[in-house]
Amino acid sequence: MIFTYIQLCVIALIIVVVILVVGSLLWSSNSQTNDSSTQSYLGFKEIRDIMIEDSYLHRLLMIEIINEKSNDAPSEIVTYNKMIEGTNLLGKTLIKYFGGAISQRIATLMQNRNEIIRDYYHMMRSVVCQNGSCVHIINVSEETNASKQVIRPIFPTSNIDGSIESLDITTITLRKLESITNEITDTVAASFQIRDVNQTNHKRPLIHYQRLFNLLSMYDKELINQAKSYTSKHYDISMNCAQSSLEITHHISDELNILMKESQQILRISP
């Protein structure tokens, strides 16, 4: 009788221990999942806030530069420094998803992109428009040290046979930006390739690379178009471009969020 009672106590104790162990494992698993979800959400929110701020700052910087005739005006410097802070914060936010080297490279490329766009804003200051036609006027020095004015188009110009006569400053700028966008997309893709995701049977998110490239390209075009329209005194079109660029930032952060989650998933299943 006593032996049977002891057996029952032992069995009950084992059951209690098993329940505690299983409960602890389930709680730990749920806690890790919740922590991962919370971190993912916070990372996404930071990225979205950074991109939205970038859109607003570009609008402000464009207006400050075009309306100010002197270089490096105090207001321009303050605005541009805020943009630099934004790209640095972007790099820090991406570290936990793509690693330090990749994130720093993305931040550097985003800063290079801002420099190209700022140069375009400065060129817009030398644009003269009349009757809907705009040209870019610059001063150049010849070998004789004599200065002369050169007029360049800001829109594409064609010969009679339809061929492009000369590249306009807008096309040149967009080509530079496209090259930067390619590098940004390739850098994000490199993060997945470095970890050799084929060994994890995890498909690379190729479609999201392409979407990110397309969205960044669209974003740059809207920023350029808003400056071009503002210079041409088409302020309503410029505002529409500004609104469009703001909307695109939401889609850019959505795509980055998907890639961030994909990266976290790889980290969890990698051997």
Three-point CA angle 263, 264, 267, nearest 5°: 90
Residue pointed to by tokens 């003269």 = 128
pLDDT at 268: 52
Q: How many residues does the chain have?
A: 271
**Model confidence over 91-148: pLDDT tens digits?**
999 998 888 999 999 999 999 999 999 999 998 888 777 665 666 666 555 454 544 4
Q: Which two tokens stand for residue 243?
A: 């609104």
pLDDT at 68: 84
pLDDT at 238: 96
Q: Would you list the DSSP string of 55-122?
A: HHHHHHHHHHHHH--STT-HHHHHHHHHHHHHHHHHHHHHHHHH-HHHHHHHHHHHHHHHHHHHHHHH
Instruction: Count other Cβ atoms within 10 Å, centred on residue 126.
Output: 16
Low-confidence ranges of the chain (pLDDT < 70): 1-13, 16-18, 20-42, 130-167, 194-204, 266-271
Strand partners, 240: none
Closest C-alpha to 208, from 177, 242, 185 = 185
